[in-house]
Amino acid sequence: MLRKLTRTDQLIHQFDTVLRTLVPHAAQPSRPSPADDIRDEPLDDAARHHAAGLMRINHTGEVCAQALYQGQGMTARLADTRAQMEQAAQEEIDHLAWCDARLVELDSRTSYLNPLFYAASFGMGAVAGAVGDHVSLGFVNATEEQVGKHLEAHLGKLPRGDNRSRAVLEQMREDEAHHARWALEAGGTPFPAPVKFGMALMSRVMTKSVYRL
């Protein structure tokens, strides 16, 4: 019989998750990278720099997603919702590790702003979870829709020949679409257009700052 986790156990787990999310190269994926069997065409310095900026944005987006799911999972009322949040968070860890590995291949780094975005996203997730599971799931749906739009745009902006980054983003796009559908099917409340517009504006602030920092 499994022992029920104490509050101390949960805090240790949360701290471990923070470290695995924010410390470069600490996240361990449960699935192989989609880029494992893909070969790039030659990239010049400008193309490599641009690809790294895009992948840094996507890495930070996964930092935010991980924090969001952790915050929501901590305050979710229903056990089923909490379990689904944890499963989605594991898939986001895969994305996090894949983007991190690709940044290494591109001779680049993760964003210096990740701790700030993690804290902000964790707080929003915890508040959404505390309001209620239906609102929390609606927030997941709206967030994943925004992430999907970014991924779609970045697939069009990647340098020609950057096949490895493309493979990673295509799998991420598929996973995020699944998360968005799941959130609504699980009872999420669709967010109105003005709220989604506000989320899109906040997302633009993140992308513009993280591309270089």
Tokens of residue 177, six digits: 């679409």
Q: Which residues are annotated as a binding site for Fe cation?
A: 62, 92, 95, 144, 176, 179
Closest-CA residue to 158 (of 150, 34, 38): 150
Give the annotated binding-site residues: 62, 92, 95, 144, 176, 179
* Gap between the Cα atoms of 122 and 63, Å rounded: 10
User: Which value, to the nearest 10 degrees, does the dihedral of the CA atoms of residues 128, 186, 89, 59 take?
Assistant: -80
Which tokens belong to 209? Answer: 């700052």
Q: What is the DSSP letter of 33?
A: -
Contact 175, 91 (CB under 8 A): yes
